[in-house]
Structure 1
Amino acid sequence: MWGLFILVFLLTKLKKIGKFSYFKEVGSQAIQDITQRIDRACKLFFRNLKHKIRTAPPSFKKIRKYKSFTLKQAGWKLLKGNIIEINKQKYKYFKSRDIEGIVKTITIKRDTLGDIYLYFVCETNENKVLARTGKSVGYDFGLKQFLTASDNEDIKAPLFFKQNANDIKKANRILSRKK
């Protein structure tokens, strides 16, 4: 815990140095989340060393290779019409489903293609409890049978290619006639 406190204290000092001025572009809570990630990685490394699990020390990425950051309470605002405001700049996004409950944190991630995704962590009043039956089942992936279950409820392979084989043949014939 003290290591985390020292990291946050040092970050406030680093913001004043010109070399690290880019820390000012991202909200303070995003920087604190980065220090929490570093703290978790170090704790995991030392725990693995203690239990003699093969491990490597945490590595640090260049700032441009960083794939995500998390905003907690401040630095963002949801607006109407699928618009989010981050650091006084508005962005339009596609909503895959409605946001239910109170949004606690937002994580902005960039994949290898450069597409950006927003992940909302919400607090809801629902307590979903799954019914426990005490039964378990094992599955085996096969070549002829897609899934073979131990309770005899087998699942056949979807065979998407065979379903569309005629369409593919027709498209190839049309393509071969073109110049």
Structure 2
Amino acid sequence: MIRAYKYKLRPNSWQANQFDEWLNLLRMQYNYRLSERFNWYESTRCPLDSCSLVSCSIAPILEQPDYYWQKRDLLNTKKLFPEYRQIHSQVLQNCVEKVKKAFDRYIKADKTGQRSGKPRFKGKGRYHSFTYSQMKQDCIKGNRITLPKIGDVKIILHRPIPDGFKIKTVQIVKAADGYYVTLTLQDVTVPTLRYDINLDRAVGIDMGLKDFLITSDADTVTIPQFARKAQKDKKLRNKSVSRKKKGSNRRRKAVKRLAKHHQKVARQRRDFHCKTAKRLLDKYDLIGFEDLNVKSLARTRMAKSILDAGWSEFLSILVCKAESAGKLAIAVNPNGTTQNCSSCGTRIPKTIADRWHSCHVCGLELDRDVNAAINVKNIAVGRTVIKAQRASDADAGLAEKPTLYSSAS
């Protein structure tokens, strides 16, 4: 399993200037490589390369500036601009890789048939990170981390790197309150997932805006609304930025104060998500949740509340923590979970204003969110049982059969 550990850096003045200079040079290199791809794309969009009436060429065929072509061209960049020689080669190559990913998302559709928007050029102060794609395993000694062509930088190791973890990549990030390093680690200590899940410790959760979530056991988690509570402070900081002259030092300081405000809200939200996910995993072995299309929901009138709740971030944290703990977090199809009765399966149409589920067939009466959570739990448990049975049939006679049990059995 791949995990990420983030630490605070305390560079000296020379090292901080080097970070800033590298980021500015990489920003210009990113814009140049992106413009190369745009120029090629615009000049080759027409499939015709010759005239059918007169035998002459319309335009020469240009070589596509793909990832490997642009990587080779970095040698010419270093010859023309000697300042790029101070940047590590892996960092420069990673800049070209970022251009490739951004451009590919623009011209190629994903598995759903949708494409990303056109990549934008990075303005001053809009390029915030660079990455070493390889790093020595003994790069951290004491409270120092050795970065190639930078030197030994002080690092705040608030938690040690466990034994057996392998460092894959190192990313330096410039945030509102300084520099951070993100270590991508390969974790070989993750417990092997087995199908000995206790069904009595299974639960379904339904995400909401009245409450952050409600479980199939009718337990609720109050929604904190960090952004809404800090809205007044944000408004004052936005006013302060708008009143400053563009390009002035006072405006730069006001922008930094606004960035710290957003950083604080994001950290509060993430801390809440991590603690909520841990409480669920301490109590349950199997957690089912709806596979929501949050991007589409965020385009509705509820966009502000949905983005403040941070559903996508919470669900990704829940899945990651469940995998680390050797437990299951299953995404189920949300179609019908709210409308169907969790007792008899009858479809009971409801609007958003209808907050109570009342079945005229079986007489079930309960909160609509609890009813939806029970449906999610039933689907998740059913999938787990089927998967365990298939694994048992495949391993019959070859190895010990995995079992799915409940405490009642």
Over 6 Å off, 4+ runs: 49-52
Match of residue 98, structure 1, among 155, 160, 171: 160
1:83 paired with 2:150, answer no
Change beyond 3 A, Cα 1:40–1:88? closer
CA distance in 2, matches of 1:123, 1:49: 27
1:73 Cα deviation from its structure 2 partner: 2.4
Shift of residue 139, structure 1, vs aligned partner: 1.9
The match for 2:208 is: 141
Secondary structure in 2 matching 1:139: strand
Residue deviations 1:103-126, cap 9 Å, x none? 111011112x14211111122332
Contact in 2 for aligned 1:45/1:58 (Cα 8 Å)? yes
Gap change, CA 1:123 and 1:89, over 3 Å in 2: same
Pairs aligned (count): 154
Query: Would you say 1:37 and 2:98 are equivalent positions?
Result: yes
Q: CA deviation at 1:7?
A: 0.7
Distance 1:8 1:63 in 2: 24
Contact kept in structure 1, 2:105 and 2:116, CA below 8 Å:
no
Task: Output the CA distance in 2 between the equivalents of 1:88 and 1:82.
Answer: 16
Change (3 A) 1:54 1:82: same
- Looking at structure 1, the residues matched to 88 and 137 of structure 2 have their Cα atoms a distance apart, in angstroms, of 9
Gaps of 5+ in 1: 160-179
Mean alpha-carbon deviation: is it higher for 75-84 or for 33-42? Answer: 75-84
Does 2:5 match 1:5?
no
Q: 2:116 and 2:178 mapped to 1: Cα distance?
A: 31
Counterpart in the other structure of 1:122: 185
Find the counterpart in structure 2 of residue 163 from structure 1. Answer: none
1:48 paired with 2:112, answer no
Q: Which has the higher contact order (CA 8 A, sep 6+)?
A: 2
| Structure 2 alignment gaps of length 5 or more | 1-63, 225-409
2:77 is aligned, of 7, 10, 14, to 14
**Aligned equivalents of 1:102 and 1:76: distance in 2?**
7
Is 61-70 or 124-133 further displaced after alignment?
124-133
TM-score, L = length of structure 1: 0.68
Residue by residue over 1:49-80, the C-alpha shift from the partner in whole angstroms, topping out at 9 and shown as x without a partner, is 99763642222325753100111225996242
**Cα 1:51/1:102, change in 2 over 3 Å:** closer
Q: Which has the higher strand share?
A: 1
Q: In terms of mean alpha carbon deviation, does 114-123 or 45-54 score higher?
A: 45-54
Do the aligned residues in 1 keep the contact of 2:166 with 2:185 (CA within 8 Å)?
yes
Partner of 1:68: 129
| TM-aligned CA deviation for residue 32 of structure 1 | 0.8
Structure 1 residues 75, 128: CA separation in 2 closer, same or farther (over 3 Å shift)? closer
Q: Secondary structure at the match of 1:32?
A: helix
Q: Return the letter of the residue paired with 1:99.
A: I
Q: Could you tell me the percent identity over the aligned residues?
A: 21
Change (3 A) 1:76 1:17: farther
Please tell me the residue identity of whatever aligns with 1:89.
G
